[in-house]
Structure 1
Amino acid sequence: MRYRGDIDGLRAVAVLPVVFFHADFGFFNGGYLGVDVFFVISGFLITKILISEFEKETFSIQSFYERRARRILPALFFVLAITTILSVVFMNPVQLKNYSQSLVSVLLFISNLFFYFEIDYFSSAAEEMPLLHTWSLAIEEQFYLIFPPLMFALFKFNRHTVLSLLLITALVSYAIMLALGEFYNQSSSFYWPVARAWELAAGAVCALLIGKIKPNKWCLNNVGFILLLISLIFWPKEIVHPNGLVMLPVLATCFIILFPNENTLSNKVLTNRILVSIGLISYSLYLWHQPIFAFFRMKTVGHPSHLIFTLAILLSFLCAYVSYKLVETPFRDRRRFSKETIFKFSLVGGVCFISAGLFGHFSEGLPERYHGYESYASDGPSYSPMRDSCHSSDNMYIKPSNSCTYPDGGNVSWAAFGDSHIVELSYAMSKILNEREQSISHHSYSGCPPALTYQASYRKRCNEWINSTLSYLEQNENIKNVLIGFRYSFYLYGEHMPDYPNVPVKINNFIADQSKISSEDALEVFWGDLETIIKRLIKSGKKVWLVYPIPELPMDISKGVHPFSIFNDETVLNLKVATTKSYFLKRHEYILKKLNAFEKQASLIPINVYEELCNQEGCPAIIDNEKLYFDYNHLSVSGAEFVLKEVF
């Protein structure tokens, strides 16, 4: 197949936005679309090679997989080896166990399914998983297993039949992607191969059409390039990926591939020596950037700065260059590594990494690596056992009338009402009530602000749930006390960690149509709804126990309670003063001012979490060897018990 420099340039255009997007640099809103571009390129190149071999009658399934092994496995094994060593040195036991599981999934080419069941790709926790990016490699490997023999069978028919079947496959897969995102869940449309097959099929269609149709006078090559750049740079942030609009960058990539023209501006840009050079190392760059970024995130208190990420990007390029020169290039040389050597290397390497992963899993992440590890609280689940079955979300909507009550057998005279910050407090309260032969009615909704009069962003049924729950509580005469609380400042100003040690000051878009009102008005809408909820509960005869803001940690507790590495003894986080008083007061300044201005009355009892847990310096992360949190902002059951025992 004739070499096309513009394809390597296109690889660079695909990988650079991915890298900058993962580094949280804001100039590529649609940076993650680079992976969609890679899928189209892969579909095109593989199909083009297969067609050439079919026509020459030189196709061999063994030779095909040998070429794939030469291309993919040496660099992958190199990255996995270094990443595994660093994981043993720097990860805590829970992280190492999770990493070990992901390592096995990578070698079995099912990491897309592993991460689908484990985590949301766009979540903060996902950013600290060194092998998260291998989900796309898994999709490609699954494609390689099925597509070549299928094409071999189909190619016995004419090209028109093959083209028709590929187009039908692409349309069906595209429809499945849309249906999964709309009616099932967004992660399935992201990770499942059936929802990504249309992008690979689009590339395959290009391989069948190229040379058969001629570019028109409008220079579709340029049109595709411009459309791709617009998608990568200006992609709307509020759009959940993937969705129907992803057709645009896919079509743009197809135009660039289908209509090569040396005289177009896009071709001149894509064949630029710098872009072509980056394209040549794009595979290694893609492999290296995520582990490097993940370790920087993992070991930074708060969020890595742009300077740290700039250094991480430079390190990624350096590692990619070394990997390309010393690993990728030599292994592609058949004179140095025969077919038999490649297959043996693949088998031995795969067995070694799978064995290492299984060992890390069954050893529970090798906790003995850390001296004094047992002196800290357990890393096991420290959240409420009721969280999985009683906590509402968009995917698991629980009507107020179907809410959990616990403990069993008690008089249901209490209710908990709020978002996820109320869950552990509700469970801790149930332990107190159990001694009084009383029970609590549990009402919580994940990521749901007190949205009484507005539709909350990213929570489809939050407004409905708030209103129905409030009405239910008002009408329930048996309930005399309501424990209410939310993660107030998160809704108002967003996550704190990306700005830490600074406090975020920009008003967050917590209202679905917030562009219609000013930021100041949005704050007042939030407070007005919360105030109305409280007043309505009091008016209905309830005593309201109002939970003040919960102090947030600058990093996850599971990381903070462990040393920086196995060569250190001091914990990453200052466990005695994990959050300073000045930071807490500045972070929650608006909501504290509003809460403190509430009229004092017998039916409204404030529960000031800071006063119950903290001192004049700040807030600890551990008390009496018990973790107060189970992540970085939610109290653990122990933390909730510490708060309530001082009140009750």
Structure 2
Amino acid sequence: MQFLIEKSGFRNDINGLRAWAVISVVLFHFLVPGFSGGFVGVDIFFVISGFLMTGIITQGLVEQKFSFSRFYLARAVRIVPALVVLVLSLLVWAWFYLPTPDYQGLAGHARYALVFWSNVEFASADSYFAANSHENWLLHTWSLSVEWQFYILFPLLLVLIAKFTNARLHVLFYSLIALVVLSLSYSIWLSPREPTAAFYLLSTRAWEMAAGGVAYFVYVSNWRRVVERPLTLYTGWLLLGLSFTTLNSDLSWPGAWALLPVVGTVLVLLANQSQSILTKPRLFQWLGDRSYSIYLWHWPFAVWLYYIGQLGNPWYLAVGIAVSILAGHLSYWWVEQPVRRSFKELSGRLRFVAVMVPLVMVLAMSLVIRNVVFDGRMPTEVERIAAEAENRNPRGDACRQSMSELHEPCIYGGERLGAIVIGDSHAAALVRSVEAALPNDGLHVLDWTMSACPTIRNLRHSQRHSSRFLCPEFVDYAIEQSSQLPPEVPLLVVNRISNYLHGEPQKQEPEIYLSEPAATYTVERAQELISGFKDTVCTFAQHRPVYVLEPVAEMPVDVPEFMSRKLHFNGEIERVSISISEYEQRHKLALEAMHELTVECNVKLLAPTAVLCDEENCWGDKDGLPVYFDDDHLNERGGRLLLTEFRKMFSDASSDESADGNEE
């Protein structure tokens, strides 16, 4: 295999390919039918980036004039100015339109976008495909972060290999093949186990860019005449067409399925057919020139339609797509092009200053917004409603047990143990309300809570290694400690149990199990978990009085966000609710199991529906203010409404003591 490294000129087939990539992403994000796999546009961008960057670096190495500083600065000039303008525009616009929690959330995401760390931040958050992803104004910047991290590490890798191999191109070529194999293998392994992390991280995306690098070496080799033909082009576009229309967000991504768009893109690049009707026409060239700016600007418009509840409206979608393209054109015309022209006249040092100063200024602005509350921006009632999203247990995050390392449990209150609360994040949300229900100030609540950990012994997780799923160890610890603590102290069990039994609409594959992993939420699996739950609760009941809180109603939307946005944009409050029949249907198995516990091991039940629901509906607010901080966790206001229920734990104990005294 022989290589002929030469400076390549502009290729309109690559520019046209960019057009297809950005349009597929835009149509996917605006939920246009027929583009269920439009998210692969990002994969196409990654392959193109790997192809072009490999060419730039390799040419510099062959000519012995590669410069890290010039390479990094060129990438910064290409990416940073338009990104800074987008972030600044959003922060200024949001000052007038977003309630404080949303505004500060935007600022928090802005800081990660500006330092190209979004992908790492989002890797531990919600899935890219989750419904609430449309609330993150800068979610799409994750791909820029991946690319920038690639830009930093990739030249270091190639230069290091070249240094120790005397710049032998064969070694660089085979090294890239090895990188493809390693990263792809890791991606295939991780995608079904930790899909969110696999989607966002460079380690599972590097193979796509390395595949572009492999394509570059084939393109400049004597194999070029074998692959540079129409058949290669048609095969590549067939694979890309299948990717756009048949792939969907239910697949583990970017696992083996990502080979479809990646191989398709590689084939189109190798075909080098500049006259193709799919890329040569002026429209595709126009869109390709503006693809970066269109990508930057389209997502905020999609989020805006989601905010105002019009993302599914065809007329709004048409306007949103058109405005996205217009905004991309203006960004290209007013930012990208002037920057390129003017920066040619500047020295390298001045270019660096001209790029960094605006970035640092907007970054500082985002940090200030993130940490300072500016009163008076929004109508008072809008801010009051939105603020209920932050009205939660201030010690909740610190006191909940970690899945990777157990710590000393927190206590809330006085010196003597008065109650124990065990469960998942629903329990953590209510600890302070149980504290408020204690009979006197000298007592405290012991916090035994862990997010996503139902009170079930011997639980296992299908997508996590045992060292990263300490739920079973935590439940065993709680059982052991319970047997040693004063037996008169009541224990309250709180779990979002129906979620573990039935899942959520966007999560089709269950993760936790007892005996065998399951591909779907079956009745048999639910019954097994119910049996494990009852067994665990009855074990606790051997040592002390046990109370179980019946399920808290799960609302269809994030209550503070929905109510504050409706009031702000529509001028009136719209309440959130679910019907009693919906509640009973969702929690039928859980409620049956809990009532069986009252007979099997003398457990007593507390009913949130007694105060949060009426005869027809369960409500997300009380007197116009949310009682949830999201769609399913009660905030402090909601927890305080349950005080009468929680006090039953202590009035029952007093009644039992009185009865014992009368018997004596």
TM-score norm. by structure 1 comes to: 0.75
- In structure 2, the CA distance between the partners of 1:202 and 1:313, relative to structure 1 (3 Å rule), is farther
Does residue 37 in structure 1 map to residue 44 in structure 2?
yes
Residue 552 (structure 1) aligns with: 554
Residue 429 (structure 2) aligns with: 424
Residue 326 (structure 2) aligns with: 322
Matches within 5 A, 1:190-209: 197=206, 199-209=208-218
Aligned residue type for 1:290: W
Aligned-partner Cα distance in 2 for 1:536–1:315 = 60
- Contact in 2 for aligned 1:202/1:254 (Cα 8 Å): no
Residue 529 (structure 1) aligns with: 532
Residue 307 (structure 2) aligns with: 298
- Contact in 1 for aligned 2:459/2:472 (Cα 8 Å): no
- Contact in 1 for aligned 2:184/2:207 (Cα 8 Å): no
- In structure 2, the CA distance between the partners of 1:324 and 1:518, relative to structure 1 (3 Å rule), is closer
SS at match of 2:547: strand
Residue 136 (structure 1) aligns with: 143
Aligned-partner Cα distance in 1 for 2:364–2:481 = 54
SS at match of 2:109: helix
Does residue 259 in structure 1 map to residue 270 in structure 2?
yes
Structure 1, 18-27 or 367-376: larger mean CA deviation: 18-27
Residue 630 (structure 2) aligns with: 631
Structure 1, 545-554 or 193-202: larger mean CA deviation: 193-202
How far has the Cα of 1:390 moved from its partner?
3.7
Aligned residue type for 2:453: C
- In structure 2, the CA distance between the partners of 1:220 and 1:542, relative to structure 1 (3 Å rule), is farther
Residue 339 (structure 1) aligns with: 343
- Contact in 2 for aligned 1:231/1:248 (Cα 8 Å): no
- Contact in 1 for aligned 2:406/2:474 (Cα 8 Å): no
- Contact in 2 for aligned 1:454/1:463 (Cα 8 Å): yes
Question: What value does the CA root-mean-square deviation take over the aligned residues?
Answer: 5.1
Residue 503 (structure 2) aligns with: 494
Aligned-partner Cα distance in 2 for 1:476–1:548 = 27
Q: How many residues align?
A: 622
Residue 259 (structure 2) aligns with: 248
Residue 449 (structure 2) aligns with: 444
Residue 509 (structure 1) aligns with: 510
SS at match of 1:314: helix
Aligned residue type for 1:425: L
- In structure 2, the CA distance between the partners of 1:375 and 1:179, relative to structure 1 (3 Å rule), is closer
Residue 660 (structure 2) aligns with: none
SS at match of 2:604: strand
Aligned-partner Cα distance in 1 for 2:487–2:53 = 65
Residue 658 (structure 2) aligns with: none
- Contact in 1 for aligned 2:414/2:441 (Cα 8 Å): no
- Contact in 1 for aligned 2:423/2:493 (Cα 8 Å): yes
Aligned-partner Cα distance in 1 for 2:596–2:511 = 23
- Contact in 1 for aligned 2:426/2:634 (Cα 8 Å): yes
Aligned residue type for 2:322: L
1:191-226 deviation per Cα after TM superposition (whole angstroms, max 9, x unaligned): 565765554344334333423042669977677666
How far has the Cα of 1:129 moved from its partner?
1.4
Structure 1, 121-130 or 203-212: larger mean CA deviation: 121-130
Residue 502 (structure 1) aligns with: none
Aligned-partner Cα distance in 2 for 1:170–1:614 = 57
- Contact in 2 for aligned 1:220/1:256 (Cα 8 Å): yes
Residue 485 (structure 1) aligns with: 494
How far has the Cα of 1:355 moved from its partner?
6.0
Residue 397 (structure 2) aligns with: 388
Residue 503 (structure 1) aligns with: none
Residue 661 (structure 2) aligns with: none
1:406-465 deviation per Cα after TM superposition (whole angstroms, max 9, x unaligned): 5463246x4333222112333422343472754444333322345557645556647734
Aligned-partner Cα distance in 2 for 1:168–1:644 = 63
Aligned residue type for 1:256: L
Aligned residue type for 2:530: W
TM-score norm. by structure 2 comes to: 0.74
Q: Which runs of 5+ in 2 are unaligned?
A: 1-7, 648-664
Aligned-partner Cα distance in 1 for 2:205–2:159 = 21
Structure 1, 146-155 or 379-388: larger mean CA deviation: 146-155
- In structure 2, the CA distance between the partners of 1:312 and 1:54, relative to structure 1 (3 Å rule), is farther
SS at match of 2:430: helix
SS at match of 1:394: coil
SS at match of 1:555: coil
Q: Which runs of 5+ in 1 are unaligned?
A: 499-505
- Contact in 2 for aligned 1:262/1:268 (Cα 8 Å): no
Does residue 410 in structure 1 map to residue 410 in structure 2?
no
- Contact in 1 for aligned 2:548/2:603 (Cα 8 Å): yes
Aligned residue type for 1:616: E
- In structure 2, the CA distance between the partners of 1:561 and 1:427, relative to structure 1 (3 Å rule), is same
Does residue 7 in structure 1 map to residue 14 in structure 2?
yes
- Contact in 2 for aligned 1:206/1:254 (Cα 8 Å): no
Aligned-partner Cα distance in 1 for 2:524–2:278 = 47
Aligned-partner Cα distance in 1 for 2:69–2:572 = 53
